[in-house]
Amino acid sequence: MSRKFFGTDGVRGQANTFPMTAEMALKLGAAAGSYFGRDGANGHRVVIGKDTRLSCYMIENALTAGLCSTGMNVLLLGPVPTPAVGYLTRSMRADLGIMISASHNPASDNGIKFFGPDGFKLSDEAEIAIEALLAAEIALATPMQIGRAKRIDDGLGRYVEYAKTTLPRGTRLSGLKVVVDCANGAAYKAAPEVLWELGAEVIPVGVSPNGTNINQNVGSTKPQLAAETVVAHGADVGICLDGDADRVVILDEHGQVADGDQVMALLASRWAAEERLNDGTLVATVMSNLGLERFLGARGLRLERTAVGDRYVVERMREKGLNLGGEQSGHIVMTDFATTGDGLIAGLQVLLAMAETGQKASILTRQFERVPQKLQNVRFRPGQKPMEAGSVQAAIRDAEARLKGQGRLLIRKSGTEPLVRVMAECEDEALLNEIVGGLVAEIEAVL
């Protein structure tokens, strides 16, 4: 059975439009509560965090009502990063964790992500089971077993304290001037606080959320303002998070961007030298640059690739007992510290490298030369299936033949937006541009 509502990162869509409506959130809450409370015992608990979108209030209340109706006790964290929900689900011995966020998407979107009692995102099997319950008659709690809801005021503080413990005891970041861009999102309080408490001089950007400005010209997908701020203030480094702070990109002292591939290369090489990179292996997705693979191979390290989505990276890491993985987009998963991508903790690891080596960010975040890569997105409407068109399939076969031995091609539907992503890598940039441009034009012609 395939998943109808769950994508690569929970249920997502435009707020107040199906499936991201209050009614659907109520049903999802009841279905999740029924699934995790299926042993019939009372007293199950669920923690709920959210980012700063206006629609989070509506969805939070609807989810709470659905969960309480099945006897779940709800602990409301307020605005916290997604990784904080994973951490607090385990720390507070909850049966379920929920994050309300559409991550890097615009404020008009929202999403619901689920975490199991171990703090990891749910498996495909669990999501399929919850979807099945949406269509079933859910058994509601008796009047005397309806769940309670409670605000947890110190959830953010617990995460702030934990984030600091991921650095060696006594580490101080004194002397580092750091721009931190919180995308007007979930980390707008936590990230500057952690950096300040560790002794850094902090210049915050994107810390004035108003419900509608999350990711708006700020954050990991729009780092221009942060880059300008780094240069204007003579900062040593910039840390750019996305709306729910599970992604990060790093800016060097010149404002140049280093993506997740460069961060993973830095951490993998450091951890390998310290003999703490499990099995000498890094896990990344098919989107990671070929240059990363070559960099690792030259050092006797391995790259394992997965499907796109940090959940698939984590699944492979857990399956093989590996402790470092991530995505080019900036999800950096360090299972020694967190159960999901954590942009702030990954940023702290970069700052630790700077503090310990005395090297500038421009040196540390340029670990390898990227193979020229081009990615273009083509938006489609609901019901359209451009990838099934014969002309598109023929164009893909022709492109793969032309790239054989010179590069690689990846075409896929996004799991979070109605987009077809066309990506290719090739040393010959003229050929690269020709192939990607031709495929995009073919897909657009079909649409």
Query: Is 103 a known active-site residue?
Result: yes
CA distance 426 to 265: 20
- Every domain range in the chain assigned CATH 3.30.310.50: 373-446
Provide the pLDDT for residue 2.
62
CA distance 229 to 213: 19
Q: What is the pLDDT of residues 159-209, one digit of tens each?
A: 999 999 999 999 999 999 999 999 999 999 999 999 999 999 999 999 999
Provide the pLDDT for residue 40.
64
CA distance 123 to 126: 5
- Every domain range in the chain assigned CATH 3.40.120.10: 6-153, 154-370
CATH number for the domain whose boundaries are 373-446: 3.30.310.50
Q: Are 107 and 242 in contact (CB under 8 A)?
A: no
Residues of the chain with pLDDT under 70: 1-2, 40-42
H or E segment and range at residue 345: helix 343-357
- Catalytic residue among 34, 55, 103, 329, which? 103
Q: What does pTM read for this prediction? A: 0.91
Q: Please give the C-alpha separations between residue 179 and each of 53, 229, 230, 253, 397, in angstroms, as whole numbers.
A: 23, 7, 6, 10, 45
Provide the pLDDT for residue 47.
98
- Count Cα neighbours of 385 within 13 Å in the Cβ-side half-sphere: 4
Provide the pLDDT for residue 276.
97
Of 194, 208, 250, 246, the C-alpha closest to 227 is 250
Class for domain 154-370, per CATH?
Answer: alpha beta
CA distance 188 to 168: 24
Region of residue 170 (phi > 0: left; psi between -120 and 50: alpha; otherwise: beta): left
Q: Position 308: which residue type? A: V
Q: Name the architecture of domain 6-153.
A: 3-Layer(aba) Sandwich (3.40)
